[in-house]
Structure 1
Amino acid sequence: MSIATPPAQLSAEAAEKLRLLAAEHAAEADRTRVLAPEVVDAIRAAGFARHFVSARFGGAEGTFAELTQAVLSVAEGCPATAWCASLSAYSARFASHLPQEGHHALWGAGADTVIATALIPSGKAERVGDGWRVDGLWQYVSGIDFADWVLVCAVVASPEAVQGPPQMRFFAVPAGRYTVRPTWDSIGMRATSSHTIALEGVLVPEHLSFDRTDIMTGRNVNSDLSAHNVPFQGVGSLTFIAPVVGAAAGALNAAASTLTGRKRNPGGELAVVRASGRIDAAKLLVAQNAEVLDGRLFDQAHLARNERNATYCAEVVPEAVGLLVRAAGTSGLGEGHPLQRFWRDVTSAASHVALQYDTAARRNYAAVLLGPES
């Protein structure tokens, strides 16, 4: 099965074709811990990498709602594929903060450049002439096996006389300038290629760097596109929760296929119904987050609610999949059954730091509900 290159827009039809293709290869991807080349090509062809890219480079200038629905769909077939597709889109949005010369470096030859991102400031950067020297190790860089570029965040070395918090910057580095260390060994999301990368004294020109504050505040001095000017607080967790919720919908389909004949009973039916309610509620909350971003509702109440929504989904979706596993029984846990793969993928992905109440939602939304601490 193959997918022809579609128009720039990421359509529901393109997402559905990718879902079917990814589902065909999902078991093999889980076994080999890598996406099939045709699936990688299909992610690119479907329009995920170009979704947030400027139209002047052939990009779609798409919406958060369109992307979210596409990721939910693909995840029903293969969560690892959806995870990589989601991150390729959001990484391009991050890269829009680069200076204009950097835009041309990444997208001058076309909008389908696949970018991976290391958000945690694990490395160090030092000013060297008109550019930077970057060193360090970054873990859990999803999609790195097939990325054309990677964005890494590093702490800038400051003179001893300078006081205050350290400056952090992002640096865009092309494939071939970094080393990939195959360290990803999670039991779930096996095919996301979320490996460690190493940079050793890599020189990065100024036009391939920007201040981390730009991403956090959402103020983009190098692009006036709506999607390029969104505070990280409201959008960060959506990147990760949409594949998780879509994977739960895939688990629901897989579990339902086991409850036939004599295996269908009131207890199993009740578990499926209860799980479906949790999954549908999570879909609505994820869609609500996308609506907030597209509607540019950037007050603290909406941004904090987005964090709450995502972390809540990461709590109830594993509960739903647990109900489905118990309803399906032993047959659903066989190595050849997709339910156990969805179960492992949801469990692994929901543990992401961006989806934890304490780190992503508690303090901000508590302040909305209860007011600031006295």
Structure 2
Amino acid sequence: MNETLSRAVELAPVIGKRAAEIEQAGRVPSDLVGQLAEAGCLRMLVPARHGGEELPLTQALRVIEELARADGSTGWLAGQVGLAHLIFACFPEQAQQEIYAGGPDVMGAGAVAPKGRATADGHGWRVNGRWPFVTGAPQAAWIYLNCLVVEGRTPQVDARGVPRTRMTLIPAAELEVIDTWDVLGLRGTASHDVQAGAVACPAWRGFSLDSEAPQAQRAVFSIAQAGLLIAAVDVGIAQGALDEVIELAVTGRRRAFARRSMASSPGFQDRLGEAHMAVRAARALLHREADTAWSSAAAGRVAAPVERACLRATAAQVTELAAQAVRAAHGLAGGSAVYSSSPLQRRLRDIHTATQHFVNGRDFYGTVGALLVGEEVEPSSF
């Protein structure tokens, strides 16, 4: 157990007691963000040369799972901050020096979907647009935003006809945060929209994603890992749901009109055991794929197309297994789980909100299947 994970385990009960507060506030409170920083949860994927922990991905996933086990929104926030740091590491050195000028515990946020536009302006760029789902936007210091490259109003394309994109880096203070986060679950992630109105972005705060340059390839790999970071949250939510239904059972709880306690019911035991194994299977798959991908990248080996596609499909499989376990836990708890005050109701809403994220979609299964039978697949799909 690494030190960051040990500190996260110690902090988890504090987070769990404040889960309802986090949901009602719509964000993780600033004092708790400070505790996450002290525990190392904000710097675990920051390069060591900038003062970060630079943990291997599998170790970071364990931290995220532990936080999500206490509260899904807190785990999600930590995972998205981690993704931001993976992407920050792809920017030119001058930009990284700006980001970490005050130390490694930086609240980063961003959007991978190219919802905005970047227009060349002298030696830099002008950035316009509006991006949804920017987790932690109100508390972020730096925000990365993916943009379509345009000239005038015309999107630019490469030789294959694929739109050109540019990843830009903007101080959060130069962006407008638009309060849009009125949602089913993960309510405490503050995943609002951000808007840029002709914001100046110096050339060193950006790079082209549609190139063969090393930084672009690292960024593509980082974006692929987004699914694994979210999958770790999903496993944590599922484990937390099982923890809660087990706690109900061991206190001697009985379902209405039941002759046996929940804990002594063979039907309860069967469904609980199945859900437990689903979570174990999800965790094992997640860590195996993450370890393989991380080791390959560290060795400089280019993964085969089917390996890359399986990495992307892992998030979908892990999320479905986690959702299966949460549904089982919610069902086993009976009528008590229908109340808004029930942690299991929150877990159910959180996991089903997580299933809607594009990195958890079934599309990647089709990509794996196509590659297995030798069909051509568009490289951008995995």
TM-score where L is the length of structure 2: 0.88
Residue type of the partner of 1:366? G
Q: Are 2:228 and 2:286, in contact at CA under 8 Å, matched by a contact in 1?
A: yes
- Measure how far apart 1:326 and its partner are: 1.2
**Alignment length, in residue pairs?**
357
Alignment partners' CA distance in 2, 1:161 and 1:15: 45
Of residues 240, 243, 246 in structure 1, which corresponds to 2:233?
243
Say which SS state the counterpart of residue 248 (structure 2) adopts: coil
Unpaired runs of at least 5, structure 1: 1-8, 223-227
What is residue 366 of structure 1 aligned with on the other side? 369
**Deviation digits for residues 217-264 of structure 1, max 9, x if unmatched?**
793289xxxxx5772474231121110111100000111122242341
Residue type of the partner of 1:170? M
- Measure how far apart 1:332 and its partner are: 2.2
Between 53-62 and 178-187, the greater mean CA deviation after superposition = 53-62
Q: Are 1:77 and 1:250, in contact at CA under 8 Å, matched by a contact in 2?
A: yes
Of residues 164, 178, 182 in structure 2, which corresponds to 1:181?
178
**Deviation digits for residues 81-105 of structure 1, max 9, x if unmatched?**
0101011111111011111111111
Alignment partners' CA distance in 2, 1:207 and 1:57: 18
Say which SS state the counterpart of residue 198 (structure 2) adopts: strand
CA separation of 1:176/1:10 partners in 2, compared to 1, >3 Å: closer, same or farther?
Answer: farther
Unpaired runs of at least 5, structure 2: 255-260, 378-382
What is residue 74 of structure 2 aligned with on the other side? 81
Residue type of the partner of 1:220? Q
Residue pairs, 1:102-251, within 5 angstroms: 102-158=95-151, 164-213=161-210, 219-220=214-215, 231-232=221-222, 234-251=224-241
Q: Are 1:84 and 1:142, in contact at CA under 8 Å, matched by a contact in 2?
A: yes
Structure 1 runs of 4+ aligned residues shifted over 4 Å read 159-163
Does 2:336 correspond to 1:331? yes
**Deviation digits for residues 129-149 of structure 1, max 9, x if unmatched?**
111111110001011121111
Say which SS state the counterpart of residue 43 (structure 2) adopts: coil
What is residue 359 of structure 2 aligned with on the other side? 354
CA separation of 1:292/1:32 partners in 2, compared to 1, >3 Å: closer, same or farther?
Answer: same
**Deviation digits for residues 31-68 of structure 1, max 9, x if unmatched?**
22221222211222222332222222211222101101
TM-score where L is the length of structure 1: 0.89
What is residue 16 of structure 1 aligned with on the other side? 9
Say which SS state the counterpart of residue 329 (structure 2) adopts: helix
Alignment partners' CA distance in 2, 1:199 and 1:161: 18
Q: Are 1:40 and 1:146, in contact at CA under 8 Å, matched by a contact in 2?
A: no
CA separation of 1:266/1:83 partners in 2, compared to 1, >3 Å: closer, same or farther?
Answer: same
Does 2:35 correspond to 1:42? yes
